Structures are given as C-alpha cells and as structure tokens.
Amino acid sequence: MTAGSGVFLVLLSLSGALRAHNGGLTARETCKAGFSEDDYTALISQNILEGEKVLKVKFSSCLGTKGTQYETNSLDFKVGADGTVFATRELQIPSEQVAFTVTAWDRQTAERWDAVVRLLVAQTSSAHSGHKQRGKKSAAPGPAQPPSDTPLPWPQHQSAHGLRRQKRDWVIPPINVPENSRGPFPQQLVRIRSDKDNDIPIRYSVTGVGADQPPMEVFSIDSMSGRMYVTRPMDREERASYHLRAHAVDMNGNKVENPIDLYIYVIDMNDNRPEFLNQLYNGSVDEGSKPGTYVMTVTANDADDGTTANGMVRYRIVTQTPQSPSQNMFTINSETGDIVTVAAGLDREKVQQYTVIIQATDMEGNLNYGLSNTATAIITVTDVNDNPPEFTASTYAGEVPENRVETVVANLTVVDRDQPHSPNWNAVYRIISGDPSGHFSIRTDPVTNEGMVTVAKAVDYELNRAFMLTVMVSNQAPLASGIQMSFQSTAGVTISVVDINEAPYFPSNHKLIRLEEGVPSGTVLTTFSAVDPDRFMQQAVRYSKLSDPANWLHVNATNGQISTAAVLDRESLYIKNNVYEATFLAADNGVPPASGTGTLQIYLIDINDNAPELLPKEAQICERPSLTAINITAADADVDPNVGPYVFELPFVPASVRRNWTISRLNGDYAQLSLRILYLEAGMYDVPITVTDSGNPPLSNTSVIKVKVCPCDENGDCTAIGAVAAAGLGTGAIVAILLCIVILLTMVLLFVLWMKRREKERHTKQLLIDPEDDVRDNILKYDEEGGGEEDQDYDLSQLQQPEAMEHVLSKAPGVRRVDERPVGAEPQYPVRPVVPHPGDIGDFINEGLRAADNDPTAPPYDSLLVFDYEGSGSTAGSVSSLNSSSSGDQDYDYLNDWGPRFKKLADMYGGGED
C-alpha cells in the first residue's frame, strides 16, 4: 500500500435477529400535514419491469388520504393514489443512483408538499471481484446483514500503479433496523474504520437527521472505535429512513477520508390497525334494484407499510340488520371497499333502512395475524313509484247550487304506499268522462292528497240537473318500469244540481231603437221585456225605471212597453252622439226576489227644428272701402242634411241696409260683409242679415250684427280718435273733450312752474316775517262744534302787528311784492299789547285803518291789507275766462249713453234739474 493512501472500513453489527413486535404503539406527535420523510431511499436492481413497485411514500394531511393527489417530475416513475412508487415502463438503470421529486397536493386547500426519492442500484458480486485489499475483507453488498464487526471500506479501484482512491465513492448498501426493537440500548449497528488508523489516531463522527439534526441523538458513534449505535426503539410510521454521513479526521481535525453515506431503513412491523375515514357511512339504493347495483364505498387506511402485508387491508361484512328478505342482501369488494347489492327483493314499503357492520383487517385479511377495525354503514332504501294510487271508494256523491263557481262539490280520498309527500306519492286527478263542457275541475290537497272536485264554470239547473263523472288518479311521477295501473285508480262521481231563484234578464241588452226627434208625448217606442230563466217556477216579472236622465220615458210595469213622456230633443244636453240612454229594472216575485237590469238606447234622427245663427255678433270696419271685410259664419244646432250650405241675404227693409252694405258668400258656411258706398260716417250700425239652412223644409233666421265703422290708418286699422268717433260722439263733443284735456294739462304745467319759482325765492330772499317768529301763518282749526264762540279761548295775539320790523327793513331792495309798502318814513302802526285782550280787537283794527289812510305809499283805492307773506305772487294768469258758457249751447244728452262714468258730466253740461 503506497504512502498516503488509506482504506475506510465500515463494520456492520446487528444485535439479534428481527423479532416480531407485539408491544404497544409509541406515542405519536401532534398531527402535522406533510410527508413522513423529506428524503426517501430504496435499493433497486438495475433492470426494472413495467409497473414494478419500488417503494411507498407516506403522506398525512390529518384528514386521511382522501383528496390527496401525487405528482412526480420523472417520466419513468409515477406515484399511485396510495403513495406507491412504480415504474411506468421497462427500465435498465445505467447509473448507480436515480433521484426525483414527489409532490403531494390537497385538492381542497391547494397546498403542496415535496419529498425527494433516491433509488440506489444494487451492485453485483462480480463488480467487486477485482477489488483486493491487503489484510482486509470486503463486505458483500446487498440488503442482507454482513457478519458482525465486518469493516466497510471507503471505495477504491485497481489501476496499473496499484490501489488509489476513486473520484466517486462507492454506495454503501442500506442498513435495515427493525422498528419497535426492545433493545438493550444502545444497540450497535455498524463499525466504521479507516486503514490509516494504523498510522495515526483517527476520530470518527456522523452527521445528519437523527445524529446532529432533529430528532437528535437517535444514532451515536464511538469517536475512537467507529462503532455506531441506535439509542432507542425506532418507529417506521414516525420516520421510515435516515440518511447519515460518516466522517474521519485526525487529531488536529484534518480530514483523513472523504465522508461516506450511510442509509438506515426502519423495517416495518404490523403495529397499526386499519382506521376507517368515518365511523358512520351513509348510502342509498333504489328499491327493486337488481343484484350488482352499486351502493357506496367505505375506506380504511393502515399506517403500516402498504407494500407489505402489514399495510394491506381487506374488507368484509360482519352483520346486516334486518336480515330481510335475505341475510345477505349486500356484499363488499374486499380490496376496494365497494358495497353492491347481491340479492333481489329490496322493498322500501317493507324495509326502509339497513345497518351493515363493515370490518377492515390488515395482513391481507388474515384474521389470525392481522389487526382489525369496524365501521357502520347505513343503507337507505329510496322510494320508486312502484305503488299506484287507489281510490278508497268506487263512487262518490255531491251537490252544487246552480250558478255557483269555485265551490268544492266532493272530496275524493286515495291511498298510496309510496313515500309520502314525494312525486311518487303526490296524486294527480283527471276527469276522463261526463263533463264535456268543462264545468268541473279537481284540485289536489297538498297535505291530505285528497282530490277536491270544484265548480270551474257555473252550471244551470234548467239545462243539467245532474252530472255523472268518471275520474282517474295517477302520481306526479310516472310508475316504475313493469308496474301497471290498478283498477281501483278509477272512480265515479255523481253531482246533483240544486235549483235556485235566478234573476230575469233582458235578451237584447243593450237594445237600440231609431226614431226621429220631436215625437209627441205618449208615443209607444218599443216593448223592452225580460225573460225569467226559472222555467220550472211560476213567477211574475215587474218593470221599473232605474235611470231616465231627462225623464222622457214611461215603462209599463206589467209588459215592459216603453212610451214617451215628453218630446225627445236631439239637441238636448242629455244626448251623447245622437243617443239617449235609459236603464230599466226587471224583478220577479221569487223567494228571495231576484232582479236584472237592461239598457235601452234611443238613436234620435235629426229633423230641421233649429234655425241657423250668425257669428260674430259684433264687428269693425273702416269708413272707407278697403281690402278688409267682415267674415261671417253660420252655426246650426242641427246636423247634416239640415245645416249648410247656407244662403246669406240682406233684407230690403230698411232700405239703407242694401244701400250701404253688400254681402257675398264665400262657401256653404261662410260669407263676407263689406261697404257698398265709398264712405260711411263713423259710428255704430246695426246690420240685419238673413241666413237660411238647407233643411227640408228650410229654416231662416235674421240676425243683427253690430258693426263699428271707424276711420282707419294706412294699414287698415282703426285710429284712436276714430275709435272714439265710432263710439257715437259728434264733432263738437270731440272738440270740447280735447279742449278740456289741453286746459287740464296747461294748469298742471303752470302749477309745476309756480312751485319751482316759489322754492327758488325761498332761497334768495328772507320772508317779511321770520317764519320762526311769526305764528300767524299757522292753520287754525275752526271747525270744532261745541257751545258757540263763548266756549272758545282764542289767542288773539296772532291778529296783532309784530313788535319789531327789523327783518322787513333788512330786506334787500328790489325784492318786494307790488302791494308791499316801501321802506321809509311811514306812520307807526299800533303796538300789539303783550297780553292780548278781547276788547282791543276793535281798537287794533281802527288804528290800522288810520295808519293806512295816512300812508302816502298806500294804493289810492280801498284794498285789503296783507297780514301774511306768501311770496312774490303767482305767475299764472287768471282762469276766470274759462267760462262753461263759452262753448255755446249744445245738446249733451248723448253723454248718458256712455255709461255711468259720464252721467255726472251730462248732468253738469246738460243743465238738468239735479
């Protein structure tokens, strides 16, 4: 052996052979969804057949395997529904290892989990025959356990220069460990050695899940001797395999050998019973089903290895309750759990439900060695329509009053042994004979399933005194195949009709008659009689009026003869579209009495009894002929042919009508009135016009149209003055009215100018007496009525001369009234005493007169002295010239025709007594 090279030996050691495990199950961890292993490893041969199973992955979703699907990323291997990995085709593995990923996903939650599957190819013995090791024994590969303490070396290969380390390590065969081993622990599994431990001290260690990764310290190794131990019992259902790596280093921690892979598989023991997904299963099967009909499926899972007998579950039926009509009505597929019928005779009306106890046993159903569990299957026998409905009686009877509808006549009872209130039980009734006119119908009572014979169309005792119906009953759902209707599904129904007093009726309602208007009172129009439908009763009918809006008609109470009580007028407001409508009542003397109504319509034919009228009644036209004319139309209350075309004429009397006016017909209904002369004085004119209709005989009417003739402008419209003139005033009256209007406007203008001038003088000069000091210009109230002047206490100081005249002397020159005394020497007027006395009024007046006589500036004639200042005087002239007599003597009586507003003016100017 060359220096620097070494051999790493693995010594296998198992204490004891595999023993059957009969102990209890280890405690399980809390359920967590996922694969039992992250990395599954299996040893396979180089040649694999199609469909060959290589291993089984275990996945738990905490709800069983239902709803879980598996996928792989390999085209050569697939995973079955139970987690078994199998080859999809015949394969020859060229490499020493195949790895791929298995994915499990839940269809309900859409969650996904992944695990890695490694398939190791077993080497043949010939592959190792050329490998020689000095002083060492080579371990034979394979699943069998090597001799105790047999070293497993690191892989080497032969070369021309002797032994040297390969670039790729050999794959060590897996180490199998039985689960649930009873020890003693720790129990040695293998011993690992390097051939360099002869030269230098070597330290050994293992890493991986179960060593330095959770679960921790499942495996341990003696660092000096390389012996690896398992420290506690294994549970395959908790973890089925372990992948460890062995390491060899010197005392300084330097790597001596490359790590070697160790695969440890936990050998399954039958330590788990099959577990049903549900303890209670519910299924159903139709009654009368043939043998072999599928019912339901039960499923049980076994936590043990499904590729071995430990996890292979088989099913069987333990008991069936009730055992009728046979104790073996069902069978179960031992592998799939499908329950099917095995015997005929399922009848819901006899047995509605079966209780079946199902047993699931592993070890391929071996009851001696396998573990078992049970579940209950409830199988409900569903109803089919295999029992036709049957009447409880062959005949039924009932009665109905005539003219009644929606009345229940009879109740038909049936029996049906099918499932109540289901389509197989619900009854449907049909009348198959005895009612050709459809007087009756049958409704089904949803609660009792009875048939209620109901009157759909009123029956008449005088036509049918009784009915004989044949009724058939069936189900809402059709009968099952091979089931025939029963003869008891048909019954007879006898219905008697009860006679009642029916109201008389008018055969012709509404009755229409035609006659000319204007027939005299007492004329017989028609006989409006009613018919009593009660032919089998002796009854009398009496007639009366219900509605006669115009009170034109009279009815004979015995025979219904209609005659006129007044003249019928087609133009009356009670006529609608030439028809007069009246309503009459016919009543019998039955018990109780019954009555009916009838309507009589009288179509009135028009006669020419209305003369035409002219429209409009008033019109307006220019005093001189122009293009304008008055359009006239005729209106007649009659109808064709007693209306137009009309004839329009002007009468010969008075002669002025035809002399001044002319009329021309435009068409049958219209004419035009216009002036014949060149000029007609403005005013109101009454123009009579005669119009004649086309009736036979024709009727004429002379209507007067008030025409207003007025002056017009260039557009042919009456002017404002012309409208007044046309109202009937003469020229003198018009001039007088216009003159009054001008005078009134002039007075208003002068008053406005005087007010403006007075306002201006107020601002340009002072008053003769200061308004604040003079109290004489105040308005005194003398209209009080009392005991005379003796009871009045007057302030006579207001009539006295002011004490001071400074405000007069200080006025600017040139601003004075014509009758105002000038400023200068003048006699002194007497001073008004401070305290006035009634006795000094005369003295005051005398002194004032004497002062005026001695005043050289006073006017040379007697005049009233001004004791108040009103400004410079009015600029308006005298209006004394406005004498009413200047207008001349005229007749103003026509003002009385103008209405009440001009009556006062007529009285003033007309010189009336008032």
3-state secondary structure 287-346: CCCCCCCEEEECCEEECCCCCCHHHCCEEEEEEEECCCCCCCCEEECCCCCEEEECCCCC
Helix (H, G, I), strand (E, B) or coil at 299: coil
CA-derived radius of gyration, the chain: 70
pLDDT value of residue 472? 96
Q: Is pLDDT at 6 greater than 50 in this prediction?
A: no
> Rounded distance, CA 77 to CA 603, Å?
104
pLDDT value of residue 511? 86
Whether residues 371 and 405 share a domain: the answer is no
Most confident of the following: 371-385, 681-695, 852-866? 371-385
pLDDT digits (tens, 9 = 90+) for 831-890: 555 555 555 677 788 887 877 777 766 665 555 555 554 555 555 555 544 444 444 556
Alpha-carbon separation of residue 688 from 221, 645, 663, 676 (angstroms): 150, 20, 11, 15
| 447 within a domain of the structure (yes/no) | yes
Average pLDDT over residues 314-336: 94
> Rounded distance, CA 559 to CA 530, Å?
9
Whether residues 641 and 689 share a domain: the answer is yes
| 708, 732, 761 - which closes a domain | 708
| 124 within a domain of the structure (yes/no) | no
pLDDT value of residue 692? 87
Helix (H, G, I), strand (E, B) or coil at 687: strand
Whether residues 181 and 88 share a domain: the answer is no
| 733 within a domain of the structure (yes/no) | no
Element spanning 68, H or E: strand 68-72
Whether residues 336 and 397 share a domain: the answer is no
Average pLDDT over residues 321-329: 93
Q: Is 403 left (phi over 0), alpha (psi -120 to 50) or beta?
A: left
Neighbours of 698 (CB within 10 A): 14
Whether residues 111 and 38 share a domain: the answer is yes
Q: What is the DSSP string of 716-760?
A: SPBPHHHHHHHTT--HHHHHHHHHHHHHHHHHHHHHHHHHHHHHH
Q: Is pLDDT at 291 greater than 90 in this prediction?
A: yes
Whether residues 477 and 517 share a domain: the answer is no
> Rounded distance, CA 888 to CA 443, Å?
110
Q: Evaluate whether 651 touches 660 at the Cβ level (below 8 Å).
A: no
Element spanning 702, H or E: strand 700-710
Alpha-carbon separation of residue 184 from 180, 230, 231, 751 (angstroms): 12, 10, 9, 149
pLDDT value of residue 363? 92
Average pLDDT over residues 596-625: 85
Neighbours of 201 (CB within 10 A): 10
Helix (H, G, I), strand (E, B) or coil at 400: strand
| 691, 708, 725 - which closes a domain | 708
Neighbours of 373 (CB within 10 A): 17
Alpha-carbon dihedral sign for residues 427, 432, 434, 436: positive
| 897 within a domain of the structure (yes/no) | no
- At position 287, the amino acid (one-letter code) is E
Whether residues 205 and 279 share a domain: the answer is no
Element spanning 473, H or E: strand 466-475
pLDDT value of residue 172? 67
pLDDT value of residue 746? 92
Q: Is pLDDT at 524 greater than 70 in this prediction?
A: yes
Whether residues 400 and 369 share a domain: the answer is no
Q: What would the two tokens of residue 872 be?
A: 């410079």
Q: Is pLDDT at 388 greater than 90 in this prediction?
A: yes
Q: How confident is the model at residue 819 (pLDDT cuts 50, 70, 90)?
A: very low
| 866 within a domain of the structure (yes/no) | no
pLDDT value of residue 699? 84
Q: Is 739 left (phi over 0), alpha (psi -120 to 50) or beta?
A: alpha
Number of domains in the chain: 6
pLDDT digits (tens, 9 = 90+) for 429-471: 999 999 999 999 999 999 999 999 999 999 988 888 899 999 9
Q: Evaluate whether 101 touches 87 at the Cβ level (below 8 Å).
A: no
pLDDT value of residue 173? 73
Q: Is pLDDT at 105 greater than 90 in this prediction?
A: no
> Rounded distance, CA 134 to CA 6, Å?
11
The chain-wide mean pLDDT, for the chain, equals 78
pLDDT value of residue 872? 52
Neighbours of 518 (CB within 10 A): 14
pLDDT value of residue 889? 57
Vertex 263: Cα angle to 257 and 266 (nearest 5): 150
Helix (H, G, I), strand (E, B) or coil at 23: coil
What is the DSSP code (8-state) at residue 631?
E
Where is pLDDT greater, at 550 or 891?
550
Average pLDDT over residues 112-130: 66
Helix (H, G, I), strand (E, B) or coil at 791: helix
Task: Name the burial class of residue 348, with classes exposed (0-12), middle (13-18) and buried (19+) by CB atoms within 10 angstroms of its CB.
Answer: buried
pLDDT value of residue 65? 57
Q: What is the DSSP string of 244-295?
A: EEEEEE-TTS-EEEEEEEEEEEEEP-S---EEES-SEEEEEEETTPPTT-EE
Element spanning 86, H or E: strand 84-87
> Percent of the chain beyond pLDDT 90?
32
669: nearest Cα among 710, 708, 705, 633: 633
pLDDT value of residue 873? 53
Whether residues 338 and 433 share a domain: the answer is no
Neighbours of 709 (CB within 10 A): 24
Where is pLDDT greater, at 43 or 342?
342
Q: Evaluate whether 552 touches 568 at the Cβ level (below 8 Å).
A: yes
Q: Evaluate whether 702 touches 689 at the Cβ level (below 8 Å).
A: yes
Residue with tokens 């014509």: 818
Q: Is the peptide bond before 900 cis (omega within 30 degrees of 0)?
A: no
Average pLDDT over residues 192-199: 84
Alpha-carbon separation of residue 867 from 283, 284, 628, 769, 861 (angstroms): 138, 138, 70, 10, 18
Q: Evaluate whether 425 touches 387 at the Cβ level (below 8 Å).
A: no
Average pLDDT over residues 392-399: 94
Whether residues 296 and 350 share a domain: the answer is yes
pLDDT value of residue 395? 94
703: nearest Cα among 576, 582, 830, 616: 616
Alpha-carbon dihedral sign for residues 454, 457, 458, 464: negative
> Rounded distance, CA 605 to CA 607, Å?
7
Q: What would the two tokens of residue 625 be?
A: 């002929």
Q: Is pLDDT at 351 greater than 60 in this prediction?
A: yes
CATH number for the domain including 242? 2.60.40.60
> Rounded distance, CA 828 to CA 858, Å?
14
634: nearest Cα among 616, 658, 619: 616
- State how far Cα 59 lies from the chain centre: 53
> Rounded distance, CA 618 to CA 705, Å?
5
897: nearest Cα among 707, 741, 730, 720: 730
Strands 39-44 and 112-121: parallel
Q: Is pLDDT at 598 greater than 50 in this prediction?
A: yes
| 777 within a domain of the structure (yes/no) | no
What is the DSSP code (8-state) at residue 171?
P
> Rounded distance, CA 253 to CA 66, Å?
51
> Percent of the chain beyond pLDDT 70?
75
Whether residues 46 and 84 share a domain: the answer is yes
**Residue 841, φ and ψ in degrees, nearest 5:** -65, -45
| 603, 621, 655 - which closes a domain | 603
| 763 within a domain of the structure (yes/no) | no
Whether residues 693 and 662 share a domain: the answer is yes
pLDDT digits (tens, 9 = 90+) for 399-415: 999 888 999 999 999 99
- Domain around 645: 611-708
Q: How confident is the model at residue 130 (pLDDT cuts 50, 70, 90)?
A: very low
Alpha-carbon dihedral sign for residues 560, 561, 566, 567: positive
What's the full length of the chain, in residues? 914
| 462 within a domain of the structure (yes/no) | yes
What is the DSSP code (8-state) at residue 31?
P
pLDDT value of residue 27? 33
Alpha-carbon separation of residue 775 from 768, 801, 821, 847, 870 (angstroms): 13, 11, 21, 21, 14
